[in-house]
Structure 1
Amino acid sequence: MKFKIYSLYVFLAFTITTYAQKKNQAYKLHIKKTTVPVKIDGKGDDPAWQEADEAKDFFRVLPMDDGLANEQTVIKMTYDEKNLYLLATFYNATKANYFVESLRRDFSFGKNDNFLLFLDPFNNQTTGFSFGSNAYGAQWDGTMFNGSSIDLNWDSKWISEVTRDDDKWVFEMAVPFKSIRYGEGVTEWGINFSRLDLKSSEKSSWTPIPRQFPTAALAYTGTLVWDAPPPPPGTNFSIIPYVLGEVNRDLEADGDTKTNGKIGGDVKFSLTSSLNLDLTVNPDFSQVEVDRQITNLDRFELFFPERRQFFLENGDLFANFGYENIRPFFSRRIGLGIPIQAGARVSGNLNDKWRLGIMDMQTASDSESGLPSQNFGVLSLQRKVFGRSSIGFMFVNKQSINYPQENDSINNLYPKYNRNFGMEYNLASSNNLWSGKAFFLKSFAPDEIGNGVTQGAHIEYNSRKWNWRVQEEWVGEKYTAEVGYVPRRGYVNLSSKLGHVFFPKSGPIVSHGPELNISYFFNEAFRQTDHLAYVVYQFDFRTRSNLMFFLSDDYVELLSPFDPTRLGLESLAVGTKHQWNAFGWEYESKPQSLFTYAFAGRVGGYYQNGNRTSLTADLGYRFQPYVSLNANLNYNHIDLPAPWNKNEFWLIGAEADITFTNKLFFANLFQYNEQTRNLNVNSRLQWRYSPASDLFLVYTNNYFIEPFEGRNWGVTLKFTYWLNN
């Protein structure tokens, strides 16, 4: 039955794929080469701009896609042998102060007056680059994947400036051709421009885009027409060395204060104009933002996103295979508590149809635990088919080598190898209304227990008023992905959702509507073990605030022992059955206010006929553009029969983000987690003294709450510099 369902989805996916031309093919901006210098000062008074063509008459996308924007924008572009230039002028029809959260790079899109550029150099409507700025000059850059998603962890070398007055703000930038990837000899790129103006609550786009889609949707880009092919980027070679010194102490292990020095770095080499080789030696990630703590009441392993820079460029080639909870590759499995010695990655576009990703990482061994040195290899290959769809192949290999000691227990704990091979089909229709996926994965291991399969498929329709999705997935009991993220095995899941949106003609509400979600879990004999059904009603206001209510019904048959408090008290037995209902709400205030807030709550039943109340609040205040203060509070009250009885715990997070300039940042995070008895402090000072080059000073400290005592602390000073030809 499972394979019949799978085959049906694949058939449907192929059947509804369309071959239509790009929706906004008629929108063209011609770009001409300049022979005079362009000074990036945010003034736009250079002679080069006088002859440049204009992209104007932007369309409104939000709150309603019903015509031209009130807040109009004019874009000009030009280029020379080294750089691509852009000049954007944003006129203010509504007179009010500008709204920005801070000067921090890669700002939150919805909390800033901002402009974004979307570049699709291969015109494949799936991958590209994004650059932009908020109204006070904070930069934004990222790589684009999946047709509209943006990975802001990618950094590149480019410069920009912003000027402002009451009537307009002006953004000017220069992006070196060496900083992006594109095919040689191509004279048409996909391109679009987006503006968010909070004082009028208006989001606009150069090309018309239906309101249910993001302005980043590459299916709706126009065309950048070059007067001649852009200059070949040539060989791009960069060396990014680092040096650091650190002082730390592990108080839990009664360790002494230690000092340590470390050097290493990365090398970037362009194999072609669109394919890059990255090498890393002795990498260090001490400056990476710490994970946000959460209250964990889940039966399965939680997911925390990758934040390390080396794994993030073209990361979608490796990380997007499968589903959120069926990932054959999860880069955070590499270097988990053990140093990475070296690594290499080849990634990018082979041409306008093929994308390639190859990664190989080598970790050290640990004689105390018996952990061997391990090699992690990943191969990902994508082929574009039809208009915007693709077929992908992936191979993942984890190989244990050079065991410090070998015996049966060590070999069982650290098997010789674990491998995954799979393929998937991704559906994306030309008008973005239809999307879907179908995939199959097979694992290989020395023990028969680790040799299994998994597969999944879904199809989704998303129009202005209707949204529906049906999905199925099956994970075999023997399927293993040691370098992946698969928190649950031995199940079949069938799920669906159906939503509808209403649009009042006037009043404070711009849209509202219900959505029904249903998910059933079965064991491999197709006997039900879980289900979750909930109905949501969502209100979106013209001020960009929103309100949501939900009602839910849960049923769980435990397949393994589980402590419903996660406090280590006592576990519920395998096979016990639990059912409850709950009611919840969420409200998020308008982002234009200096003081912003969001409230969420949930009241209702819980395991063992108990009750659980959960309340969450997010509070923020900004002294724009220099200081942004935030507090996150989560309270859980759980009432169960003995031996758990009544338990309550708090999770408190406080952040102070100080941005002295758009190159000097000071981030401070305080986290108090009563459930894990942990208090954490993290402070990070970053000075971007040169494009893509930084000086970091990082302080971390962890404490036990009861009894209050130190766990570990550390101070790190790290210096990086980007050298390129």
Structure 2
Amino acid sequence: MRSGFNYLATFLWLGSLVGGYAEQKPAIAALKLEPGERLKVDGVLEEEAWQRAAKGGGFRQYDPGRGTPATERTEFAIAYDLDHLYVAVWCYDSEPGSVMARSMVRDRMYTGSDFVYLFFDTYHDQRNGYVFAVNPTGAQSDALITNNTGTNFSWDGIWTSKATITQEGWFVEMAVPFKTLSFDPEGTVWGFNMSRRIRRKNESIRWTGWKDEIKSHNAVEAGDITGLGGMRQGLGLELSPYAVGRFGSGGSEGDSLGGDAGANIRYRVTPSFSATLSYNTDFAETEVDQRVVNFSRFPLFFPEKRDFFLEDSGIYDFGPGIRRKSRGPTLLPYFTRRIGLADGEIVPIQLASKLAGRLGDYDVGLTHARIDGASGVGEQDVFAARVTKQVFAQSRVGVIATGGNPASDLDNYVGGLDFTYRTNEFLRDKILEANFYALGNYAEAAGGGHGTDYAFGAQLSYPNDRWDGTLSYMEIGPNFNPALGYVRRKGVRTVSGLLRRKDRPGGSGWYRQLARGADFQVSSLTSGGLDSARFGVVPFNIDFASTDELFLRISHDVDRPLEGFDIGSVTVPAGHYSWTKARLEYETTSSRPVWGEFSVEAGQFYDGWRAKASAELEWNPNRHFRIKGSYQYNRVDVGGGEFDAHIGSLGVNWNFTPDLGWSSLVQYDSLSREVGFNSRIRWEYRPGSTIFLVLNQSLLAEDRGLGLERSDLTLKADATFRF
């Protein structure tokens, strides 16, 4: 084993040596405003300061014409005072009447709209940073970037922006308080990049770094902002109290009326490290989960949506973070939905605390929560800790630990370590990433004593434009059971791989990219014998010039369940099964007012067959209104039985301004015969302070119509005060 790791380390080192080539990055000087000089954030870029500021330009395409000049002129300027960073963007357009602006929804403003996307590497470490994006309606999106690959778009920073459309194009002005950012107070240079999407042309341009496989938030490709210094963050204290009132009716609980209050207190111990205390943590405004039906023998995965846990969540990223669109991750040592939720029901969190940020070359995270007992279990204390150290140019090594069991009084602990090697200079200008990780689990047994088990793995990735490949190995012990984590399956050894070739035509063709590839995944039991396997081939994945996309996948599956399991209303008995199926998908471009995604899938399924058809359609007639519907039909004949499954949803968004919106969602599936309704009004009456009015209803489809099972109405108001 030691010699194998030595060979791999030598291979990675030699590949990096072949690099040694660095492209000259651009830089722009930030203008320091004079004492008493103010900028009004209104999207009208007429202040004298913007005339004095240095202008950045020279944008080039990274899609479709890699490295070719942009077809529309774009410029930007940066200024700052003691408390704010200001950015002005001039998006000139030869057809200003064709500027597309169809969404006012925060974090969903990319759909069908032009936009600008700004990235700041505030430590100039070429690893982490912040994203701020704005479209022509003034709608915002923001994100935290971790180690150039992890993106947390659920983070909502406090900042302001305005956009205007004129006869010359559209223009953006934004102000980000330094209290919103973590940065090195001694640093005078930040990393920076900016991209612009010209939606009607399906053209994407960038200030620097024109590889399509590199994201605009990749700090290694960023240019520089120079001339910074003397910024302040105040006392670093942030207080966010809230009050909530609830009225519920129906169900076993009957009618109820009540209220509650709590607060979050955050203190910046240093400009880059903060402590947060949350009393009586509340998540009334959290969006509901998507309704799905499970057609496998493995548990479903639902992602975290609660802001308290999403903030700083990138610190806890562990290993390669393998995720599949349809099935979620295979293994997470720390999964925050284990805290405060049990079988989808809320378990009150009495007190929660977090330490998060950077201490020198170390990124540190520590989370503790005290939660009420669930299902006869007493009050529980749980914690998670994560420390990573930056090594080499883009790599890191880290440890993780969790403790506590929300579902039991029995002790449960997990400890692990991981190493991520990453370079964008492999074979001169290619990306190469390698991950190694190992975990151990200690679990107290119900009858006394305890058990221990393990999980470990490695992954090698080559995520580049022409060739894209991944090879990975993972082994999870049969008794590996992290109480604060997520494991899709235990007692297996899994080998998986992917190889994909992407071709782009020269000149202006009818398609932009043609991708073809193959993948496999083979899982065997640690006790011996094959558990499951999947082999797939993609004859074509065509990205048309319009950005419509057509995709075909043919796969052969093998499954050998040791026990019978239920799918819908039928039972699949234990046995050895293999089957072949095909899936065809077509997705239209969101540049159109009406766009959607359609797919059909058919083939064998265990000892029978399954046919599936799905459609998702969205209509954006203007910037204020959006309606989206989805429907999936499944016809299943398996295990000596058959059934139909219908899953549908309809969502409506009405946004009066970027800060005031009303959204409603109704969902239904025919197996449970349940209808879920969620309606939410959100008003951000000032940056960082919001009022929510939320209605949740659960109904049951009966022969005589819909019967109301439970209805809950919640009003919540919060405010943020910074000192």
TM bin, normalised by shorter chain, reads over 0.9
Decide which structure has greater strand share.
Answer: 2
State the Cα distance separating 1:166 from its structure 2 match.
3.5
State the Cα distance separating 1:214 from its structure 2 match.
2.1
State the Cα distance separating 1:9 from its structure 2 match.
5.9
Say whether the 8 Å CA contact 1:566–1:675 is kept in structure 2.
Answer: yes
Q: Does 1:260 align with 2:258?
A: yes
Partner of 1:386: 392
1:705 is paired with a residue whose SS is strand
2:179 is paired with a residue whose SS is helix
Partner of 2:236: 236
Residue in structure 2 matching 1:354, options 352, 358, 362: 362
Partner of 1:659: 655
Residue in structure 2 matching 1:720, options 705, 718, 721: 718
Say whether the 8 Å CA contact 2:101–2:623 is kept in structure 1.
Answer: yes
Say whether the 8 Å CA contact 1:23–1:220 is kept in structure 2.
Answer: no
2:50 is paired with a residue whose SS is helix
State the Cα distance separating 1:120 from its structure 2 match.
0.6
The one-character-per-residue Cα deviations of 1:409-453 (angstroms, maximum 9, x if unpaired) are xxxx72421100000011221346112211000001123664100
Q: Does 1:199 align with 2:204?
A: no
Sort the Cα spacing of 1:539 and 1:27 in 2 relative to 1 into closer, same or farther, 3 A.
same
Residue in structure 1 matching 2:352, options 343, 351, 361: 343
Whole-Å separation in 2 of the counterparts to 1:631 and 1:595: 11
Partner of 2:50: 49
Residue in structure 2 matching 1:558, options 561, 573, 598: 561
Identity %: 25
2:308 is paired with a residue whose SS is helix
Partner of 2:531: 529
1:94-243 matches, within 5 Å, as 94=95, 96-226=97-227, 228-243=228-243
Sort the Cα spacing of 1:4 and 1:245 in 2 relative to 1 into closer, same or farther, 3 A.
farther
Partner of 1:410: none
Please tell me the residue identity of whatever aligns with 2:110: F
Whole-Å separation in 2 of the counterparts to 1:420 and 1:489: 15
1:561-576 matches, within 5 Å, as 561-563=564-566, 565-567=567-569, 569=570, 571-574=571-574, 576=575
Whole-Å separation in 1 of the counterparts to 2:613 and 2:22: 45
Partner of 2:615: 617
State the Cα distance separating 1:384 from its structure 2 match.
0.7
State the Cα distance separating 1:4 from its structure 2 match.
8.5
Sort the Cα spacing of 1:21 and 1:361 in 2 relative to 1 into closer, same or farther, 3 A.
farther
State the Cα distance separating 1:26 from its structure 2 match.
2.6
Sort the Cα spacing of 1:416 and 1:640 in 2 relative to 1 into closer, same or farther, 3 A.
closer
1:286-685 matches, within 5 Å, as 286-321=284-319, 323=321, 324-336=329-341, 337-351=346-360, 353-366=361-374, 369-398=375-404, 414-431=408-425, 433-447=431-445, 450-505=451-506, 506-536=508-538, 537-563=540-566, 565-567=567-569, 569=570, 571-574=571-574, 576-608=575-607, 610-640=608-638, 642=640, 644=641, 646-685=642-681
Whole-Å separation in 2 of the counterparts to 1:534 and 1:517: 5
Partner of 1:285: 283
1:383 is paired with a residue whose SS is strand
Please tell me the residue identity of whatever aligns with 1:166: Q
2:212 is paired with a residue whose SS is coil
Gaps of 5+ in 2: 322-328
Whole-Å separation in 2 of the counterparts to 1:45 and 1:22: 41
Sort the Cα spacing of 1:365 and 1:621 in 2 relative to 1 into closer, same or farther, 3 A.
same
Say whether the 8 Å CA contact 2:111–2:590 is kept in structure 1.
Answer: yes
Sort the Cα spacing of 1:518 and 1:8 in 2 relative to 1 into closer, same or farther, 3 A.
farther
Whole-Å separation in 2 of the counterparts to 1:257 and 1:95: 55
Sort the Cα spacing of 1:169 and 1:88 in 2 relative to 1 into closer, same or farther, 3 A.
same
The one-character-per-residue Cα deviations of 1:528-563 (angstroms, maximum 9, x if unpaired) are 221101111210112221110011000100033212
Whole-Å separation in 1 of the counterparts to 2:548 and 2:554: 21
Whole-Å separation in 2 of the counterparts to 1:84 and 1:34: 10
Whole-Å separation in 2 of the counterparts to 1:282 and 1:692: 19
Sort the Cα spacing of 1:272 and 1:500 in 2 relative to 1 into closer, same or farther, 3 A.
same
Say whether the 8 Å CA contact 1:637–1:648 is kept in structure 2.
Answer: yes
Please tell me the residue identity of whatever aligns with 1:600: S
Deviates further, 328-337 or 523-532: 523-532
State the Cα distance separating 1:101 from its structure 2 match.
3.1
Sort the Cα spacing of 1:6 and 1:284 in 2 relative to 1 into closer, same or farther, 3 A.
farther
Say whether the 8 Å CA contact 1:20–1:387 is kept in structure 2.
Answer: no
Say whether the 8 Å CA contact 1:282–1:340 is kept in structure 2.
Answer: yes
Gaps of 5+ in 1: 401-412
State the Cα distance separating 1:594 from its structure 2 match.
0.5
Whole-Å separation in 2 of the counterparts to 1:271 and 1:705: 54
State the Cα distance separating 1:142 from its structure 2 match.
1.8
1:48 is paired with a residue whose SS is helix
1:311 is paired with a residue whose SS is helix
Say whether the 8 Å CA contact 2:319–2:419 is kept in structure 1.
Answer: no
Deviates further, 201-210 or 230-239: 230-239
Please tell me the residue identity of whatever aligns with 1:605: Q
Partner of 2:326: none
State the Cα distance separating 1:7 from its structure 2 match.
7.8
Say whether the 8 Å CA contact 1:17–1:427 is kept in structure 2.
Answer: no
2:332 is paired with a residue whose SS is coil
Please tell me the residue identity of whatever aligns with 1:347: A
State the Cα distance separating 1:463 from its structure 2 match.
2.4
Say whether the 8 Å CA contact 1:322–1:328 is kept in structure 2.
Answer: no
State the Cα distance separating 1:566 from its structure 2 match.
2.5
Residue in structure 2 matching 1:702, options 698, 702, 712: 698
State the Cα distance separating 1:54 from its structure 2 match.
1.1
1:38 is paired with a residue whose SS is coil
Partner of 1:403: none
Whole-Å separation in 1 of the counterparts to 2:317 and 2:89: 34
Say whether the 8 Å CA contact 1:189–1:224 is kept in structure 2.
Answer: yes
Deviates further, 697-706 or 97-106: 97-106
Sort the Cα spacing of 1:24 and 1:156 in 2 relative to 1 into closer, same or farther, 3 A.
farther
Say whether the 8 Å CA contact 1:21–1:430 is kept in structure 2.
Answer: no
Sort the Cα spacing of 1:241 and 1:117 in 2 relative to 1 into closer, same or farther, 3 A.
same
State the Cα distance separating 1:322 from its structure 2 match.
5.8
**Matched length:** 699
The one-character-per-residue Cα deviations of 1:468-488 (angstroms, maximum 9, x if unpaired) are 111000001121111101021
Say whether the 8 Å CA contact 1:521–1:528 is kept in structure 2.
Answer: yes
State the Cα distance separating 1:22 from its structure 2 match.
9.3
2:186 is paired with a residue whose SS is coil
Whole-Å separation in 2 of the counterparts to 1:88 and 1:124: 25
Under a length normalisation based on structure 2, what TM-score does the superposition of the two structures give? 0.93
Say whether the 8 Å CA contact 1:395–1:421 is kept in structure 2.
Answer: yes
Sort the Cα spacing of 1:457 and 1:301 in 2 relative to 1 into closer, same or farther, 3 A.
same
Sort the Cα spacing of 1:676 and 1:311 in 2 relative to 1 into closer, same or farther, 3 A.
same
Sort the Cα spacing of 1:100 and 1:294 in 2 relative to 1 into closer, same or farther, 3 A.
farther
Under a length normalisation based on structure 1, what TM-score does the superposition of the two structures give? 0.93
Sort the Cα spacing of 1:256 and 1:63 in 2 relative to 1 into closer, same or farther, 3 A.
same
Sort the Cα spacing of 1:346 and 1:693 in 2 relative to 1 into closer, same or farther, 3 A.
same
Say whether the 8 Å CA contact 2:206–2:216 is kept in structure 1.
Answer: yes
The one-character-per-residue Cα deviations of 1:613-653 (angstroms, maximum 9, x if unpaired) are 111101111121000110011110112353x1x31111111
Whole-Å separation in 1 of the counterparts to 2:15 and 2:409: 44
State the Cα distance separating 1:104 from its structure 2 match.
1.1
State the Cα distance separating 1:516 from its structure 2 match.
0.3
Sort the Cα spacing of 1:450 and 1:77 in 2 relative to 1 into closer, same or farther, 3 A.
same
2:412 is paired with a residue whose SS is strand
Whole-Å separation in 1 of the counterparts to 2:120 and 2:432: 23
